[in-house]
Amino acid sequence: MSGANLPSHMKINLEDSSVLLVDDNQMSLEILRSCFYGFGAKERLKAPTLDESKRILGNQQVDLMVIDAGFPEGGMFPFMNWLRREAPEPICFVPTIIVSGHSTRDLVRKARDSGGHFVVAKPISPGVLLNRLAWIAHEKRPFVKHEIYAGPDRRWKNTGVPPGTTGRRQGDLSAELSDTGGDNMSQNEINTMFRPQKVSL
């Protein structure tokens, strides 16, 4: 499947993929489910609570998880810490897209530092979501586990960001997490924070 703003060589096929959608808002869950139906995904699992998502992950492997950042008391971040550090393999490696209606810089940094692959701002744009899916499908980043970070490696050796993208992200592997505050970021600003930094190791 190809989508808006995707380079011609970047195609994805979700027909055999299992997608876990996690949101405590039923309407948001249905919107996500409809998006992935449009993308061709036949297995679209829904979880209205973080506990239910853990139960599902304990019973079957999923290929992708989309999780809302708005769970009470920042509950998504302890969940992501559990997923990346405590969940058994291969569950801990599941690609994760975080969606948020309040995409402040602090929240985006927390999402990035918790091991999320991307943040997508609400209201959900199918074109933006499809673009992030294609990036995840075509990237070859290793998984990193360190005392201050566990998740997809945001460093690149001798390669840049995936074809069809430009720019670079601010900073790398920040250990500082502060309270959510400030104005919402645009999707372009969010993307900049998530782009891997080109480095030589």
Q: Once rounded to an integer, what is the mean pLDDT over residues 170-196?
A: 52
For 119-126, the CB contacts below 8 A with 24+ separation are 119/69, 119/190, 119/194, 120/187, 120/190, 121/184, 121/185, 121/186, 121/187, 121/190, 122/28, 124/31, 124/32, 124/35, 124/99, 125/187, 126/3, 126/4, 126/35, 126/38, 126/39
Tens-place pLDDT, residues 161-179: 445 544 434 333 333 333 4
pLDDT tens-digit map of 37-87: 988 998 999 999 999 999 999 999 999 999 999 888 779 999 999 999 999
Per-residue pLDDT, averaged over 152-166, amounts to 56
Residue 200 has pLDDT above 90, yes or no: no
Q: Please report the pLDDT score of residue 108 as a whole number.
A: 86
pLDDT of 181 strictly over 70: no
pLDDT confidence of residue 195: 62
State the pLDDT confidence band at 4, using cuts at 50, 70 and 90: very low
With tokens 């609400």, the residue in question is 122
pLDDT of residue 97: 95
Domains of the chain: 18-199 (3.40.50.2300)
Give the model's pLDDT for residue 196: 54
Look at residue 185 and tell me whether its pLDDT is greater than 80: no
Q: Collect all residues with Cβ–Cβ distance below 8 Å to 185 and sequence separation of at least 6.
A: 103, 104, 105, 108, 121, 193
The answer for 198, left when phi > 0, alpha when psi is -120 to 50, beta otherwise, is beta
Side-chain half-sphere exposure of 29, counting CA atoms within 13 A: 14
The reported pLDDT for the residue numbered 106 is 87
**What tens digit of pLDDT does each residue of 89-124 get?**
999 999 999 998 887 888 888 888 899 999 998 888
**Taking the alpha carbons of 175, 181, 182, 183 in that order, is the dihedral positive or negative?**
positive
Mean pLDDT comparison of 5-14, 93-102, 145-154, highest-scoring range? 93-102
Predicted confidence at residue 117, as pLDDT, reads 92
pLDDT in the model for residue 131: 87
Give pTM, 2 decimals: 0.74
